């Protein structure tokens, strides 16, 4: 039972682990999928946000710059106010520019070489707007060292005619320290000749504010690149650096980013060191490009958070499940296991009870057939094999006052109920036969006994017989049982047939039924074979019956065997016939052979014992009913034979056995004289010539001659070192 | 079995009684010694009380007869029972013995 508990524990554990395993797998799978989606969503959201951000920033910046462009281009149209004779004529334009928007804090005209010879080769009238003091100042920027003609700045003298933005410059001028870019537009005179570049310079201070404003995340960065890959603006630290990135960042991703940006492309890239998402888009006419930079960590923040949360949930759930399952299953199974245990024990207990009952029932049957004394007048053997542990068949026998009482019975049904009924019947049989010796009355009384309290209408077929062992007369009564087989000994084998009996009703059926007695006489060697229908109705796998014919033939075939041999032979045949088919009914057989009791006299080879022999012969002949007148001759014959054996069988030996046996035959007595001395067949002795004269008659040889004259049948056998002489004396001779 | 030897009418007579079986043979021979010794004389055997005789007994009688014949005596057997007479008949003894 401890084993059962352990098994249950294991079961609970296995089930728990299994369920958890499945659940965990499910969780992991869905979790994985969800996390992927989360990451993607995060990125998508990021992209969307970035798009929006970029767009808005681009818009803002572009708008402002476009304004400058428009103003400057517009102003350039008024180029006809600029005359070569008036060196200050340009200031009108410049005034216009610097008044148009505070973004333009510096405007200048870079005249072509020697346009105003009085001013020298280069002349750059400028207006500087100080937003703080709200004052404007007119200066010739050349005087401040702005030798533009000598400068390698390709946008300054813009003869091609296209307005162009300059790259960003850092300018430190008095209080100004900032990034500036200039938009220069060429102006032409009335002859369409180039006069000067009109240049509006814009302070980029507002860039930072804009970009800071629209920066979506505290951790994110923005930077602006110009068309040449120079930083215009970088939100991380150094606002004012103008490094060319190509010298700096080594990550190839950056290279492609910058490459794309300088080409005015828009897109998104990821870098590895540091891990960043970079969104970029072009700015428009300035050939600038804006980029938004997100550390990957930020992007992954939300999904990571999700992952951690999910893992925590999973683990907690699993632990809880584990405990719940383990204890839950255990709690559920425990009452079942207790019930199972109880049921198993109960079943085992019932099994044990049945075993005991089976033993008890077997104990009720007489089994020790061999302990019957040799010469009691019968040989008997029986077999009972129940279909289940206990059965409803019975047989019984016992000897009382020189009579053999025997019976066979078959209770309706099988199993425990039939076996209980059987034991009642058997008890009654034993009880009633103590005082009642007529079979029909025995049956009648058993019937009466069963009538009371027989609510289940159980009944029992029976065959009861009483055999007088000295005479062979058998009285019997058949109560509904299948007719026994009777066998008569013949010279070679036997004649067997089913007995014809009265068909009385089975016991327990009809109270008060009058049972009929019957009688027959068995001769020496005749037998009765009793059986139940478990024999004739034994089934094979095809449900075919063994049958009465087979049964009869088996008995006939084996009739010369001893009682055990006959029964076992038939049983073996039935077993072979049934093969593996389940035994459908109890199989019961009882074989009784009548052997007239023999009388035995053990002598030794001592002729002085002849009086003993004479006395014994006297007793035997009287018992067997030999007419008195014949006694003399019988005694004479016996003496002759026995003395013969005593004298000649054991030459030189004393105290050797000589055994005389007498048994009744149908109409006489059979004597058998046995010794185990030297082989000697008295029948081969020469007959004396009784016609001889006295003088010539030899003394010996007379004995056996006498025997042969007086005895009907004499036979000699040598068997297993024994001399066996058989003589039969018939009564009516 | 018993043997009594008496002189009856001048004839030495052995009176046999009981069962002359093999066991009794020796005793019988012993008892009949006087007859054997006087085999030249007329002898008689009275078997009125003889209940039984077997071949051993027959041999003794035959032996006595032979002695008697050899010495020119005579032997008469008297009062045999039917059963014994029958045995004598079967064995042909009835032909060689003088029976009364």
User: Quick check: A694 and B87 CB within 8 A?
Assistant: no
The alpha carbon dihedral of A144, A150, A151, A155 has a sign of positive
B15: closest CA of chain A, how far (Å): 20
How far off is chain A from B11, nearest CA to CA, in Å? 22
Is the bond preceding residue B17 a cis peptide, omega within 30 degrees? no
Residue B61 C-alpha, separation from nearest chain A C-alpha, in angstroms? 10
| Separation in Å, CA of A488 to nearest CA in chain B | 38
Residue B71 touches chain A, beta carbons under 8 Å:
no
Q: How confident is the model at residue A666 (pLDDT cuts 50, 70, 90)?
A: confident
Nearest by CB to B62, from A643, A697, A705: name it: A697
pLDDT tens string A88-116: 888 888 888 888 888 888 888 888 888 88
The pLDDT tens digits for A83-93 are: 888 888 888 88
For residue A238, the model assigns a pLDDT of 40
pLDDT value of residue A700: 56
Contact yes or no for A210/A60 (Cβ under 8 A): yes
A177-220 pLDDT tens trace: 777 788 888 888 888 888 888 888 888 777 777 777 766 667 77
Q: Determine, for residues A610 and B65 on separate chains, whether the beta-carbon distance falls below 8 Å.
A: no
Per-residue pLDDT of A335-348, as tens digits, reads 877 888 888 888 89
- With a threshold of 0.90, tell me whether the complex ipTM lies above it: yes
DSSP A561-612: S-HHHHHHHHHHHHHHHHTTSPP-S-EEEEEEEE-PPEEEEEEES-GGGHHH
Q: Residue A241's pLDDT is what?
A: 40
Helix, strand, or coil (residue B92): coil
Q: Do residues A99 and A200 make contact, with C-beta atoms less than 8 angstroms apart?
A: no
List own/partner pairs for B80-89 with CB under 8 A and 24 or more apart: B80/B47, B80/B50, B81/B47, B81/B50, B81/B51, B83/A632, B83/A633, B83/B52, B84/B47, B84/B50, B84/B52, B84/B53, B86/A633, B87/A636, B87/A706, B87/B53, B87/B58
Taking residues A321-343, report their average pLDDT. Answer: 80
Strand-pair partners of A288: none
User: How far is residue A162 from each of residues A97, A108, A463, A502, A587, measured CA to CA in Å?
Assistant: 18, 17, 141, 145, 127
The residue of chain B nearest to residue A642, with distances taken between CA atoms, is B22
For A640, the closest of B23, B54, B83 (CB atoms) is B54
Interchain CB contact of B90 with A (< 8 Å)? yes
Count of pairs with CB atoms under 8 A, one residue in A, one in B? 66
Confidence of residue A258 (pLDDT cuts 50, 70, 90): confident
Residue pair A228/A167 in contact by the 8 Å Cβ criterion: yes
Q: How many CA atoms lie within 13 A of A547 on its CB side?
A: 8
Q: Does B38 reach chain A within 8 Å, measured CB to CB?
A: no
CB contact under 8 A, A632 and B52: yes
Estimate the crossing angle of helix A631-648 against helix A702-710, to 10 degrees. Answer: 140
Q: Is B21 on the interface with A (CB under 8 A)?
A: yes
A550 interfaces chain B, CB cutoff of 8 Å:
no
| A427-453 pLDDT tens trace | 999 999 999 999 999 999 999 888 776
Interface test with A, best of B1, B18, B19, B23 (most A CBs within 10 A): B23
Q: Residue A611's closest chain B neighbor by CA?
A: B23
Nearest to A694 among B55, B66, B83 (CB): B66
The answer to whether the Cβ–Cβ distance between B91 and A699 falls below 8 Å is no
The answer, for B98 touching chain A at a CB cutoff of 8 Å, is no
Q: What is the pLDDT along chain B (100 residues), one digit of tens a residue?
A: 999 999 998 899 999 999 999 999 999 999 999 999 999 999 999 999 999 999 999 999 999 999 999 999 999 999 999 999 999 999 999 999 999 8
Which residues, at least 6 apart from A427, have a Cβ–Cβ distance to it below 8 Å?
Answer: none
Q: In chain B, which residue's Cα lies nearest the Cα of A633?
A: B83
């Amino acid at each position: 039972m401890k084993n059962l508990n352990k098994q249950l524990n294991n079961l609970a554990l296995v089930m728990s682990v299994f369920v958890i395993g499945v659940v965990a797998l499910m969780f992991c799978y869905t979790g994985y999928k969800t996390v992927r989606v989360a990451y993607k969503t995060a990125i998508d959201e990021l992209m969307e946000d970035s798009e929006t951000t970029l767009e808005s920033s681009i818009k803002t910046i572009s708008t402002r710059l476009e304004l400058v462009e428009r103003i400057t281009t517009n102003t350039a149209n008024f180029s006809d106010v600029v005359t070569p004779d008036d060196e200050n004529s340009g200031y009108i334009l410049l005034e216009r520019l610097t008044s148009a928007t505070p973004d333009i804090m510096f405007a200048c005209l870079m005249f072509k070489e020697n346009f105003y010879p009085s001013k020298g080769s280069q002349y750059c009238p400028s207006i500087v707007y100080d937003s703080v003091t709200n004052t404007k100042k007119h200066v010739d920027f050349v005087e401040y060292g702005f030798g533009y003609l000598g400068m390698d700045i390709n946008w300054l003298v813009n003869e091609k005619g296209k307005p162009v933005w300059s790259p960003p410059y850092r300018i430190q001028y008095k209080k100004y320290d900032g990034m500036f870019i200039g938009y220069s537009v060429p102006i032409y005179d009335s002859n369409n000749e180039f006069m000067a570049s009109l240049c509006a310079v814009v302070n980029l201070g507002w860039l930072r504010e804009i970009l800071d404003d629209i920066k979506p995340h505290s951790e994110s960065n923005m930077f602006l690149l110009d068309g040449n890959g120079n930083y215009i603006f970088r939100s991380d630290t150094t606002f004012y650096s103008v490094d060319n990135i190509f010298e700096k960042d080594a990550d190839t991703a950056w290279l492609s980013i910058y490459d794309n940006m300088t080409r005015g492309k828009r897109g998104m890239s990821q870098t590895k060191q540091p891990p960043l998402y970079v969104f970029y888009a072009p700015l428009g006419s300035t050939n600038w490009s804006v980029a938004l930079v997100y550390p990957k960590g930020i992007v992954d923040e939300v999904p990571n958070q999700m992952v951690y949360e999910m893992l925590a949930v999973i683990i907690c759930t699993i632990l809880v499940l584990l405990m719940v399952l383990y204890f839950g299953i255990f709690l559920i199974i425990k009452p079942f296991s207790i019930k199972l245990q109880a049921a198993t024990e109960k079943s085992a207990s019932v099994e044990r009870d049945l075993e005991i009952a089976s033993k008890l029932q077997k104990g009720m049957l007489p089994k020790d057939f061999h302990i019957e004394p040799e010469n009691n007048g019968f040989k008997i053997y029986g077999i009972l094999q129940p279909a289940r542990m206990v059965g409803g068949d019975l047989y019984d026998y016992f000897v009382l006052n020189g009579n053999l009482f025997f019976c066979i019975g078959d209770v309706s049904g099988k199993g425990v109920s039939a076996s209980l009924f059987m034991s009642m019947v058997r008890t009654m049989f034993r009880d009633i036969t103590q005082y009642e010796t007529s079979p029909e009355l025995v049956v009648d009384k058993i019937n009466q006994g069963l009538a009371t309290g027989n609510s289940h209408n159980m009944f029992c077929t029976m065959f009861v017989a009483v055999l007088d062992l000295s005479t062979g007369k058998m009285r019997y009564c058949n109560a509904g049982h299948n007719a026994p087989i009777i066998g008569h000994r013949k010279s070679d084998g036997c004649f067997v047939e089913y007995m014809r009996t009265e068909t009385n009703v089975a016991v327990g059926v009809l109270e008060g039924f009058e049972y009929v007695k019957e009688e027959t006489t068995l001769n020496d060697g005749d037998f009765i074979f009793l059986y139940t229908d478990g024999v004739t109705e034994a089934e094979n796998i095809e449900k075919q019956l063994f049958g009465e014919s087979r049964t009869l033939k088996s008995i006939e075939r084996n009739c010369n065997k001893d009682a055990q041999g006959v029964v076992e032979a038939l049983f073996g045949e039935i077993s072979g016939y049934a093969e593996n088919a389940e035994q459908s009914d109890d199989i019961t057989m009882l074989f009784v052979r009548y052997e007239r009791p023999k009388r035995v006299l053990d002598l030794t080879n001592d002729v002085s014992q002849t009086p003993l022999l004479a006395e014994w012969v006297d007793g035997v002949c009287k018992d067997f009913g030999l007419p008195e007148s014949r006694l003399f001759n019988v005694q004479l014959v016996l003496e002759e034979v026995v003395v013969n054996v005593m004298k000649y069988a054991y030459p030189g030996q004393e105290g050797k056995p000589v055994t005389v046996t007498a048994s009744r035959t149908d109409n006489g007595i059979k004597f058998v004289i046995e010794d185990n001395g030297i082989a000697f067949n008295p029948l081969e002795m020469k007959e004396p010539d009784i016609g001889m004269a006295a003088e010539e008659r030899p003394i010996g040889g007379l004995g056996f001659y006498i025997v042969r004259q007086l005895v009907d049948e004499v036979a000699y056998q040598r068997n297993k070192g024994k001399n066996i002489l058989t003589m039969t004396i018939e009564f009516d001779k | 079995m018993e043997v009594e030897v008496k002189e009856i009418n001048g004839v030495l007579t052995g009176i046999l009684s009981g069962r002359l079986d093999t066991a009794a043979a020796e005793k019988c021979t012993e008892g009949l010694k006087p007859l054997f010794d006087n085999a030249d004389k007329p002898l008689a055997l009275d078997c009125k009380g003889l209940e039984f005789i077997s071949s051993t007994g027959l041999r003794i009688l035959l032996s006595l007869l032979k002695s008697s014949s050899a010495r020119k005596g005579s032997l008469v057997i008297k009062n045999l029972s039917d059963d014994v007479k029958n045995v004598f008949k079967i064995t042909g003894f009835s032909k060689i013995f003088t029976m009364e």
